[in-house]
A and B are shown apart, each in its own frame.
Chain A
């Protein structure tokens, strides 16, 4: 397929792997974090870990929006859905995430009206077509999803659709990466920065990371060759003793990002502190709906609180999300926690680290 096969070319891949081996020699493996869940899945699907064994240790970061959504949010969504005449509209990944007592999937079985959508705009259409219903969209995602959620709110405002609202759980990535960078237990030596998020925020967003923490950052696309070449660039920086932002994904992501998308985000949202499941409350990493669009904020509209509590369980999703351990080091992995019966969120989402290890890991 044009423009995809080029990034999966076996000959080129072999070349990059050889270059990685040559440049790195027999140094101890460099500890790299792929921040984004799509990278995690792509690495697992392409079998990249097996190709680079010994040269790099890849740890997976918190970049799956489903995985870092606190259970209190799921409870709040279920609570809202139980109000008479309410439609819960959501992306499919959220369906099976366990809250404290139940999941949207289980509640749907009991009659909750939960609809799976591809776009937040579809939720606005449902609201327009069903004026007697209250449609609540579960706004979960990162900078990639934020513009389309903001766009849906702007569209609803313009069309004066008053029975649409968003329960926002949108998060931003760079400051969360700084928290990980400053955690001595995580010991990151290089960041493989997300592709799609970077198309919105721009590669310059990672400059503070390189300056404050001297950690090399490379923005890379999601295809196997993108990832291999991104890793090569990180190793090269480390070998040269520099920490810069390099952009392997320049075919889409620019240094300053997508101005239009950033404007829409700024127009609708405001920065807030937000809880990350398994990690804790991270200051200024959330996007709440701003004053001007308060009537579309489900939290304010229905007086809903999203409680955040640090769970104390044997589930080690928190440590997985921070890259402190690999999924196999969690005592529940593959035993009490499987994709069929997930215990923690990292096993639920298709982009969750534990799910990717479980699905693609070679026994």
Chain B
């Protein structure tokens, strides 16, 4: 519907609300659980251990190079389930729209949610739509929750991490945040950087079904990037992680942006990557499996677990050793 904008009346429960929900939103996600539009989506019997997660998405701009808030909202929740070893069953979709938001943009975003859900083999089982006055939100906010079933009984076991285990990252670091930063600051750079936003369920579940017992623990390094996720992993597994700087995969263009702006890609958010701590002996075959997957082509062993007090260290390119700590606040533009 070109030119049309979201009005407060789209959220007031009357005919306009009904039309928006039925003709624009529910139509796209059509499936037997959602389509009756009951007050709940009835999932039926689920067999196995259930995983449940939720996440809110507020990214600006809503459409960025390589994706949009819709794809992000679906993939983020799918990935949270997948790194806990759960096969996604259903997700919810709650939209908060700002008065004046272009309906056409909403349709684009919903289309990418549909595509991502199909790719991740999950249904949108329920949803909600609210409209707030202009100025009370930033265009569009999306919250998705997800339910999944544990794959083959696997569950994260940080307590099993031991010296000799390897750290695997499934691809390059920082692409998502670098893409958003560039879009937000309208930086004109020669090389295009695309967000890595992608559903990892099928790749990670394949790894688990082949190597379940060797995978101790997985995380998706979103906010705070690989640096923060690894610190959290080191903390919960009481492990000392030593990274090898020369093995950290970073796309050339992302490195360039980081050099210019003074950011460290290890702290930039990813939306289509996972960190795995695996048994040292299985690291190579796991890498081989990951690299065959669409979103794992640049998977690499980036470090190992060693004896010593918990924490994250890095062997630098030139052979020095230093700590990789939690960052404080946002990385800020620097003076010189």
Q: Which residues of A contact B (CB under 8 A)?
A: 1, 4, 8, 10, 13-14, 17, 37-38, 44-51, 65-66, 91-93, 95-96, 116-118, 140-142, 144-145, 196, 224-225, 228, 339-340, 350-351, 358-363
Q: Tell me whether A224 and B333 are in contact (CB under 8 A).
A: no
Q: How far is the CB of B266 from chain A (nearest CB, A)?
A: 11
Bound-complex Cα distance A14 to B320 (A)? 10
Q: Tell whether, in the assembled complex, residue B336 and residue A144 are in contact, meaning their CB atoms are under 8 Å apart.
A: yes
Contact status B332-A116, CB under 8 Å:
yes
A51 close to B332 (CB less than 8 A)? no
A-contacting residues, B287-336, CB 8 Å? 309, 311, 313-323, 325, 328-329, 331-336
Contact of B318 among A37, A225, A363 (CB under 8 A): A225
Other A-B contacts than A37-B336, A140-B335, A360-B323, 20 sampled, CB-CB below 8 A, are: A1-B255, A1-B256, A4-B255, A10-B246, A13-B318, A14-B319, A46-B317, A47-B320, A47-B322, A50-B320, A50-B322, A51-B320, A91-B334, A93-B334, A93-B335, A96-B329, A116-B332, A145-B335, A351-B334, A362-B313
Q: In residues 223-280 of chain B, which contact A (Cβ within 8 Å)?
A: 246, 252, 255-256, 259, 262
Determine if B332 and A350 form an interchain contact, defined as CB atoms under 8 angstroms apart. yes
**Distance of A111 Cα from B317 Cα, bound (Å):** 44
* A48 and B320 contacting across the interface, CB-CB below 8 Å: yes
Given contacts A8-B317, A51-B319, A363-B309, contact A358 B325 (CB under 8 A): yes
B262: chain A residues at CB < 8 Å are 350
A145 in complex: contacting residue of B311, B313, B315, B336, CB < 8 Å: B336
17 interchain pairs, CB-CB under 8 A: A1-B256, A4-B255, A37-B336, A45-B316, A46-B320, A47-B314, A47-B320, A65-B335, A92-B332, A92-B334, A93-B334, A96-B329, A116-B333, A228-B318, A361-B322, A362-B321, A363-B323
The answer for the CA separation of A358 and B322 in the assembled complex, in Å, is 11
Say whether, besides A1-B259, A45-B316, A362-B313, A196 and B336 are in contact (CB < 8 Å).
yes
Interface residues of B (CB under 8 A from A): 246, 252, 255-256, 259, 262, 309, 311, 313-323, 325, 328-329, 331-336
Closest to B325 in A: A359
Report how far A360 CA is from B252 CA in the complex, Å. Answer: 24
Tell me the complex Cα distance, A359–B312, Å.
11
Q: Which residues on B sit within 8 Å (CB–CB) of A38?
A: 336
> Which A residues are CB-close (under 8 A) to B318?
8, 10, 13-14, 46-48, 51, 224-225, 228
What chain B residues lie within 8 Å of A44 (beta carbons)?
A: 322
* Cα distance, A66 to B332, chains bound together (Å): 13
Q: Once the chains bind, are A50 and B321 in contact (CB under 8 Å)?
A: yes
**Would A93 and B332 be within 8 Å (CB), given that A45-B316, A47-B316 are in contact?**
yes
On whether A92 and B333 interact (CB within 8 A), knowing A1-B256, A13-B318, the answer reads: yes
How distant is the Cα of A190 from the Cα of B270 in the complex, in angstroms? 43
CA gap between A363 and B325 in the complex, in Å: 11
Inter-chain CA distance A196–B334, complex, in Å, is 14
Smallest CB-CB A-B distances: 4 pairs: A47-B320, A92-B332, A13-B318, A339-B328
Q: Please give the distance in Å from A18's CB to the nearest CB on chain B.
A: 11
Q: Do most interface residues of chain B lie in helix, strand or loop, or is the interface mixed?
A: loop
B225 to chain A, nearest CB (A): 15
Known: A10-B246, A339-B328. Is A91-B319 also a contact (CB below 8 A)? no
Interchain nearest-CB distance for A50 vs B (Å): 5
Contact partners of A225 in chain B: CB under 8 A:
318
Chain A residues contacting B331 (CB-CB under 8 Å) are 350
Q: How far is the CA of A225 from the CA of B317 in the complex (A)?
A: 11
User: Given the complex, which residues of B lie within 8 Å of A339, measured CB to CB?
Assistant: 328
Asked if A360 meets B333 with Cβ closer than 8 Å, knowing A8-B318, A46-B320, A224-B317, the reply is: no
Q: Closest CB-CB distance, B174 to chain A, in whole Å?
A: 14
Residues of B within 8 A of A92 (CB): 332-334
**In whole angstroms, what is the CA distance A26 to B203 when docked?**
55
> Does the CB pair A95–B336 fall under 8 Å?
no
* Residue contact A359 to B256, C-beta cutoff 8 Å: no
Q: Are A361 and B323 also in contact (CB < 8 A) when A224-B316, A225-B318, A228-B318 are?
A: yes
> Across the interface, do B319 and A13 meet the contact criterion of CB distance under 8 Å?
yes
- Give the CA-CA distance A96 to B314 in the complex, in Å: 28
What residues on B are CB-neighbors of A145 within 8 Å?
A: 335-336
How close is A212's CB to chain B, nearest CB, in angstroms?
27
Alpha-carbon distance A140/B334, docked complex (angstroms): 11
Which residue of B256, B322, B334 contacts A46 across the interface (Cβ within 8 Å)? B322
Contact A142 B317 (CB under 8 A): no
* Nearest chain A CB to B195 CB, angstrom units: 21
State A45–B334 Cα separation when bound (angstroms). 16
Cα separation A67 to B218 with both chains bound (whole Å): 40
Contact A10 B323 (CB under 8 A): no
Contact B259 A4 (CB under 8 A): yes
Partner of A10, one of B314, B317, B332, B335: B317
Beyond A1-B255, A93-B335, A350-B334, is A360–B319 a contact (Cβ under 8 Å)?
Answer: no
Cα-based distance from A48 to B332 in the complex (angstroms): 25
Q: Are B322 and A10 in contact (CB under 8 A)?
A: no
Residues of chain B with a CB closer than 8 A to A96's CB: 329
The complex places the Cα of A141 from the Cα of B334 at a distance, in Å, of 11
Complex formed: what's the CA distance from A92 to B336 in Å? Answer: 11
Q: What is the CB-to-nearest-CB distance from B247 to chain A, in angstroms, rounded to a whole number?
A: 12
- Please give me the residue from chain B that is nearest to A223 by CB atom: B318
Give Cα A65 to B321, complex, Å: 27
List, in ascending order, chain A residues with CB within 8 A of B335's CB.
Answer: 65-66, 91, 93, 140-141, 145, 351
Residue numbers in A under 8 Å from B316 (CB-CB): 45-47, 224
Bound-state CA distance A211–B127 (Å) is 76
| Cβ contacts under 8 Å, B311 to chain A | 363
* Nearest CB of B to A122, in Å: 11
- The smallest beta-carbon distance between B86 and chain A, in angstroms, is 34
- Cα distance A228–B262 in the bound complex, in angstroms: 21
* Chain A residues within 8 Å of B321, by CB: 47, 50, 362
A234 to B333, CA, bound (A): 32
Cα-based distance from A8 to B320 in the complex (angstroms): 12
Select the residue from A37, A140, A359 with max chain B CB neighbours within 10 A: A359
**Chain A residue with Cβ nearest B253:** A1
In the bound complex, what is the Cα–Cα distance between A285 and B331 (angstroms)? 30
CA distance A96 to B328 in the complex (A): 11
